Each structure stands twice: as structure tokens, then as C-alpha cells.
Amino acid sequence: MENIGGLCLILAFCLGVYSVLASVIGAWKQRPFLLVSAQRAVYSVWVLVATASALLVYAIMTDDFSIQYVWAHSNKAMATIYKFTAWWGGQEGSLLFWSFILSSYTAVVVFTTRKKHEYRAMMPWITAVLMFTLVFFLMLVAFVEHPFRILAIGRAATPMDDGRGLDPLLQYWTMVIHPPFLYLGYVGFVVPFAFAMGSLITKQPGDGWIHTTRRWALITWAFQSTGILLGAGWAYAVLGWGGYWGWDPVENASLLPWITATSFLHSVMMQEKKGMMKVWNMVLVSTTFFLCIFGTFLTRSGIVSSVHAFAQSSLGNYFVVFLAVGIGATTWLILNRLPYLKSETQLESVVSRESSFLFNNLILLASCFAILWGTLFPVISEAVTGEKITVDAPYFNRVNIPIGLFLLFLTGVGPLIAWRRSSGDALKRAFLMPTVGAVIFMSVLVSLGIHHVYAVISFGLCFFVTATIGSEFWKGSRSIAAKDNVNLLRGAIELTHRNTRRYGGYIVHMGIVVMFIGFTGSAFNIDRTVEVKVGSTFKLGRYDLKVADMKGGENENYVWNHAIIEARSGNELVATLKPELRKYAVSGSQTSNVAIRRALNEDLYLNFAGMTADSKVILQSYVFPLVSFIWVGYWVLLIGTLICLVPSKIKLQYAKMEVVGIARQPQPVEN
């Protein structure tokens, strides 16, 4: 089986190389048969990679511990679902998983565009870019980090009785789907990038590549968002420290392409509606793609210390070469095609929607740069001063909190400000009420004793954005309700359906607002670590927590102890929580299973940290106000994204068609 798997990967690599060459030569020399065979090679590669993946999964499922990868990442006792996750649990398998997703995406792109004549010129180049990226990963998986290596002593294969298995901490449902979602998001951005490059190479004048890839970009952005949130949710519910984001280099690496992708999703609107920011969009889509590759490089190269990084390996050098070649070629291509990327309109006023988009982009990029700088600070400092220095969470928070608040402000301002230029009166009409409302709301918060500056500003901005978005829905829905004689809810649904992109976008913004409420809640966290005897009570915030009992036991896997904690608010028993401490027999590792009482207003979070010598329970107890808003906000964001993907009922005419006398002469088009 390992031989067939290995052969599949080598054949896939060879066919991938053929596909790239056939696409390029076919397009260059105008040889249709080469182009057709290149596309067939794409499907063949998919079959081969899928076969190799299926063989690896089969080996894991059937406990074939003669294969080193299976032995290292699975064992007999693991549940079937966790065995399946071993596919991407290690270096080699995750590279195969990358290749499988990319191969699937490529096959889907080729299949769905096969009859679209408008892509005839671009498709060979799109195929070449996609397959070039795939060939890189196939090279790694076929020749460098091979997943089908067998365990052997001398020349004899040596199957082991059982494998090492997956760490107990990872046997949690969000960890099953967190990596695939992140990978789907990371890999997915190859497609918009390939279309952008195809457009540049063939000197396409318009923004056809944006129309085509907008859905790809949105879907992959949703995958990235989901992957990031699942990771945060896992850290919160499993790791026992109560946090959801630690600014670790690898966490940052997943955030960087998300930020540039967010920026791209905004700035493409400028190109579609105003013919502006064409170069910028090329830069953004390329940056997002290369940051996706960079994130993979960071996780696997060992360039920076991270608790999430894979083992040190020689992979880093390959990634450096790929990034250098890719960035160099892309930069040259963009510079060479600048005449085709000139803006059709100019910025007329700082107080305009165009300007708010530009600010949004630049601020997002500033955040991206600050995070990248902090992440690579050890590398930079070592290169400059010879000393390896790292920066911690306070650095990231200090820079990113003001950025986040400014972006939140723009979220409220952008949609209501007019294109081209906004007059003072128009601004007053749009923003007076939301601003007054936000100021009153902030005053009320201060009078209630909330003096945390950032928190007050954040809550005020959340109010402001909610008011501006709400007013947009209110005005539109009321108008439709009156005209069509339907109720307000039907009016709102009709309004959203007429322009799903705009109103879906507003719902995404509302999701962000709700998440910001959750983030802001962390300013009021309460924590207390106590050593208490059974029967004793201690206070945490509004709760009286009583250690009612201790129970223990064991099974074949671990010894467990849990404390039974009664949480009372006033005289009312609000929850009985059972944080648990486990000690695993084989590994000797100790894990804490936290107990959480979740509520919208606050979570009560208990971690059983251990016992003292005199049999007191060591309990780390926390109250996390508003943290549930983060998870609720994610669902709102996802719903908004899905609405954006639904075709609008009414075909929109873009404003740029109405702009007269400002546009420059269109640039000559070469075919």
C-alpha cells in the first residue's frame, strides 16, 4: 500500500509539472491540444492525490503501524473521528491534506470554467499558476516529507503493536474541524490570486477577474474566519487559561492573511464601482496569497518559537525559495502591467466613501504590518543587534486596540457617507442622531461607574455603528413596507434580497460589532486563585462559590478527581460545576477539564488546578463578562457572509457609469 501511495504522489508531481508546462507552452504557442491535455492532467492529478490521501486514511483507520506516520499520530484506542483527523495531525499528512485541497480547488476551477469563453485566454495561465503552487506542495510531500515512510530496523519493516496516538487535549470536537477550515481558507486564496495573475499576464483591461473570484474570496474568507474562531473557542474551552487569543506567532500567521483578505474584500468594491485601486487590489490579493504561504512557512520552518509550530525541519528553505520566486515574479508582473491598471477616477474629497475605503484599507494594512513586525521581531532584532528579542501580548494589544476601534468607527461611517463628496448637511443628516445617541450612551456608562477609557469608547462605537446600520435597514425596510403594503420584517427581507451584497455586508459588520462587545468585556474580567477546603465558600464577583464535595475515580485510561462547586448569586443556586483533573496512565500527563457556566452576560469559569499537601483544592476561578458575544458575533458574521453570496434580486448599475467628466481617458488595450 505504501508503494502505491508513494507512486501516486510521484506521478501526481510529474503530471503537475506537465500541466504547468503544457499550459504555458500551449498558451504561448497557441496549441489547443496542449491546453486540453493540461486540463486533463489537472483532473488526473486530483485522482492521484485523492488516491494517496485515501490510502493514508485507510492505513490510519486500519491501524497499520508499519507506516511511521500512522504510528506517530494514531493509536488503536482512538475514536474513529479522531483517527480521521490524524490525516492532517502531522507534518507529512498536513502537507498531503494541503495538496488534496488545492488539487480539488484547481479541478473545480477548471471544470466550472471549461465552457466559459470569456476565460479562454486567461485559463491556461490560471491553470499554470494553480498547478505551479500545487507542484511545489507535491514536491514537498513526494520527496521531502513523505507520509508513506515505513518503520524499519535494517531492511526489515517493523510494525509496532500500537501507535503514540493523539494528545488527549486535541480530542475535542472543535479541534476536529479547526485545521480543515483554516486550510480551506488558506488554500482557497490561491484561486483569486491565480485569476489576478491570469488577468495581468493576458493584459485584461477590466475587472472581470474580480467578478469571477469575489465568491471564491468570500467563501475562503468565511473559512478563514471559521477556522480562527474555532481555534479561539478550543483554547477557551480546553486549555484552562480562559483566554481565546495569545498573540502567538502561529496564531498571528493565521490572522495576517485574514486581515489582508478583509482589506481586499472592501477594496474590490472601489474597483468595481469606481474603477479605482486596481494596482492596490493586485497587491492585496498577491499579499494575501503570499501571507498564506508565509503562514505555512512560519508553522513549519522553526524561524520563530511558537507553541504551535511543527517540528524543526528543512522545509523552511523550500518555502523561502518559493516565496522569493513568487514575490519576485508577481512584483515584476504588476510593475510591467502598470499601464493597464490606471485608475479611471480620482479621489475628489477626503470626506467621501472612497476615502473611507482607503482609510479602511490602510488601517487594516497598518494592523497587518504591526502584527507581522511583532511576530518577526526576534528575527529582525537578531539580524540587526545580534540579540534575539521577543515582544509579548501587551505590544500587540497596545497597537491593535486603537486600530480596532478606528476600524469600528469606519464601519459605522463608511456605509452612510456619500460617494465622491459629502456635504456638511448630508453628514449632519446621516450622523447627528447616531453620534448624539453614542455620546449619551457613553455618558450613561461613565455615570454607572465604567471608567475604562477603551471600554467606554468601544461600547460607544458599538452603539454608533449599530445605530447607523439600523437606520439603513429601518429607512429601506419602511419604504418597501409602505410601498408593497407588507410588514416591516418582510420589508427588511425584501430589502436585503434586492441587494444582498450591501445588506449582507451590513450584517457582517453587525457581527463584528457583536464580537467587539465580547472583546471589550475582557476589560472587566475578574479572576481569583484560592486554596479552599471541602465545605468552604469563597467569593468571586457576585458569586458565592462553595466547594461542596470532591469525587474521584479511575478508568483504564486515567485517574480523575473533580470538585463539585455550587455557585450562588444571592441566595439562588445558579449552577453546580464540576471542574476535573485527570492524570493519564500511559503518558503520565495531567490535564484539567474546566467547567464553564455560559451565559450571555458573563461566563463563570472554573479550573481545578490541583491539591495542596493539606488536601485543599486549588481553584482558579474567573468571571468573563460578555465573552459569549464573541461566539454569537461569529454566527452573525457567517450569516451575513452567506447572504452576500446569494445573488441579488435586482441587477445593480454601478455608480461609476454615472460619473461624468472626471474619468481619465481609458488606456489602450492590447490583445
Partner 1 sequence: MHPYAKFGILILIIVATLGWLAMEGVSETKTYYKTIEEMSAMGNEAQVKRLRVGGDVEVIERNGQQVKFRMIQKENGKNLTLNVIYNGKDPLPDTFRIGAQCLADGKMGTDGVFQASRIQAKCASKYEAKPGVKPGSSSYAKPTTS
Q: How far apart are CA 345 and CA 661, in angstroms?
A: 9
**Binding status of residue 595 toward partner 1 by CB under 8 A:** no
Residue by residue, what is the 3-state secondary structure of 277-346?
A: CHHHHHHHHHHHHHHHHHHHHHHHHCCCCCCCCCCCCCHHHHHHHHHHHHHHHHHHHHHHCHHHHCCCCC
Q: Which of residues 241-280 bind partner 1 (CB under 8 A)?
A: 241
With a CB cutoff of 8 Å and minimum separation 6, the contacts of 133 are 102, 190, 194
**Binding status of residue 355 toward partner 1 by CB under 8 A:** yes
3-class secondary structure, 142: helix
Span from 100-108, 205-213, 369-377, 515-523 in contact with partner 1 (CB under 8 A): 369-377
CB of residue 30 vs partner 1: minimum separation in angstroms? 43
Residue nearer to partner 1 on the CB measure, 329 or 585: 585
List the one residue from 31, 40, 308, 490 that touches partner 1 (CB under 8 A): 308
Q: How far apart are CA 113 and CA 124, in angstroms?
A: 11
Residue nearer to partner 1 on the CB measure, 103 or 254: 254
Residue nearer to partner 1 on the CB measure, 395 or 524: 395
Number of residues lying near partner 1 (CB under 8 A)? 81
**Binding status of residue 376 toward partner 1 by CB under 8 A:** no
Nearest to 88 by CA among 80, 96, 76: 96
3-class secondary structure, 556: coil
Task: Cell 507553541: give the residue.
Answer: 307
Nearest to 599 by CA among 569, 579, 619, 570: 569
CB of residue 414 vs partner 1: minimum separation in angstroms? 15
List the one residue from 33, 161, 311, 448 that touches partner 1 (CB under 8 A): 311
CB of residue 555 vs partner 1: minimum separation in angstroms? 18
Residue nearer to partner 1 on the CB measure, 313 or 499: 313
Q: Which of residues 171-230 bind partner 1 (CB under 8 A)?
A: 175
Q: How far apart are CA 288 and CA 221, in angstroms?
A: 11
Residue nearer to partner 1 on the CB measure, 283 or 469: 283
Residue nearer to partner 1 on the CB measure, 536 or 587: 587
List the one residue from 114, 120, 398, 475 that touches partner 1 (CB under 8 A): 398
Q: Which of residues 51-80 bind partner 1 (CB under 8 A)?
A: 68, 71-72
Buried-exposed string 192-224: b where 16+ CB fall within 10 A, e elsewhere = bbbbbbbbbbbebeebebbebbbebbbbbbbbb
Kindly state the DSSP code that residue 665 receives in the 8-state scheme: P
List the one residue from 51, 66, 313, 648 that touches partner 1 (CB under 8 A): 313
x/- letters, 419..458, toward partner 1 (CB under 8 A): ----------------------------------------
CB of residue 641 vs partner 1: minimum separation in angstroms? 27
Residue by residue, what is the 3-state secondary structure of 181-221?
A: HHHHHHHHCHHHHHHHHHHHHCCCCCCHHHHHHHHHHHHHH
CB of residue 398 vs partner 1: minimum separation in angstroms? 4
Q: Which of residues 485-524 bind partner 1 (CB under 8 A)?
A: none
For 232-241, the CB contacts below 8 A with 24+ separation are: 232/630, 233/174, 233/631, 234/172, 234/174, 234/175, 234/178, 236/627, 237/172, 237/174, 237/594, 237/596, 238/169, 238/172, 238/175, 238/594, 239/169, 240/592, 240/594, 240/607, 240/620, 241/607
Helices 315-336 and 278-301: angle between axes, nearest 10 degrees: 170
List the one residue from 402, 488, 502, 645 that touches partner 1 (CB under 8 A): 402
C-alpha cell at 50: 485523492
Kindly state the DSSP code that residue 523 receives in the 8-state scheme: G
Question: Sign (positive/negative) of CA torsion 494, 498, 504, 505?
Answer: negative
Q: Which of residues 97-156 bind partner 1 (CB under 8 A)?
A: 151, 153
List the one residue from 156, 448, 613, 660 that touches partner 1 (CB under 8 A): 613
Residue nearer to partner 1 on the CB measure, 41 or 150: 150
CB of residue 549 vs partner 1: minimum separation in angstroms? 21
Tally of CB atoms within 10 A around 134? 29
CB of residue 433 vs partner 1: minimum separation in angstroms? 25
List the one residue from 185, 192, 378, 511 that touches partner 1 (CB under 8 A): 378
The helix (H) or strand (E) run that includes residue 575 is strand 572-577
C-alpha cell at 90: 502531522
Span from 85-93, 445-453, 469-477, 636-644 in contact with partner 1 (CB under 8 A): 85-93
**Binding status of residue 314 toward partner 1 by CB under 8 A:** yes
Span from 163-171, 287-295, 472-480, 505-513 in contact with partner 1 (CB under 8 A): 163-171
List the one residue from 84, 406, 524, 631 that touches partner 1 (CB under 8 A): 406
x/- letters, 540..559, toward partner 1 (CB under 8 A): --------------------
Q: Which of residues 561-590 bind partner 1 (CB under 8 A)?
A: 587-590
Q: Which of residues 649-668 bind partner 1 (CB under 8 A)?
A: none
Rounded to 5 degrees, what are φ and ψ at 402?
Answer: -60, -40
Rounded to 5 degrees, what are φ and ψ at 590?
Answer: -115, 130
342 touches 282 (CB < 8 A) = no
Span from 165-173, 318-326, 330-338, 435-443 in contact with partner 1 (CB under 8 A): 165-173
Span from 54-62, 217-225, 384-392, 475-483 in contact with partner 1 (CB under 8 A): 384-392
20 touches 135 (CB < 8 A) = yes
| Interstrand relation of 572-577 and 558-569 (parallel, antiparallel or unpaired) | antiparallel
**Binding status of residue 618 toward partner 1 by CB under 8 A:** yes
List the one residue from 158, 317, 336, 601 that touches partner 1 (CB under 8 A): 158
